[in-house]
A and B are shown apart, each in its own frame.
Chain A
């Protein structure tokens, strides 16, 4: 298994809290495919800083509310 990035995220939790927004809808909002949203949620991909900001803006929270450093 590939090394996982030490970055945690609450994308799935926030998406579900945001009217159960679909992965495809979130992907469309931030300009990535549904599969990339899935990869982010599963920790198989760390998004670019731009996408991280886009995700946090979709949910109306700060980047640090969506992403964190494992162990912190």
Chain B
């Protein structure tokens, strides 16, 4: 398994952990308020910091397991995979944001729109990493 494939696995796991933490917090706050909780800057900052810290730790661990491949640059196959996976993530992001915007037209709930759009970003990133893993495993033609 190449360094870039390992990186996709760990980033997928890191994003899952961070997304679970974010939406668990939003769900708890929404339950306490009795409506969709407003977006909170500290929560968003916390989400970003959590991803940065976990991804640094995870990548150090991945690099330590095979130092000789840790500085591998993207080769032609990696670039094709990154491009295709990025396109897939872009579609997911577009669908998610359009879903949020469509919902806003019916209930004018800006808080919900924010969380859906933010969630769409998370899903798009997760989808991108999943697509990378798929192409690395199954081949890119």
Contacts and interface: CB of A to CB of B under 8 A. Distances in A.
Interface residues of B, number: 14
Interface of A: 1-5, 31-36, 39, 42-48, 51
B141 A46 contact: yes
Contacts of B139: 2, 4, 39, 42-45
A35 B138 contact: no
B140 interface: yes
Contacts of A45: 77, 139-141
Interface of B: 1-2, 5, 69, 72, 75-78, 136, 138-141
A3 B141 contact: yes
Contacts of A4: 139, 141
Contacts of B141: 2-5, 45-46
A45 B138 CA distance: 10
Nearest to A47: B76
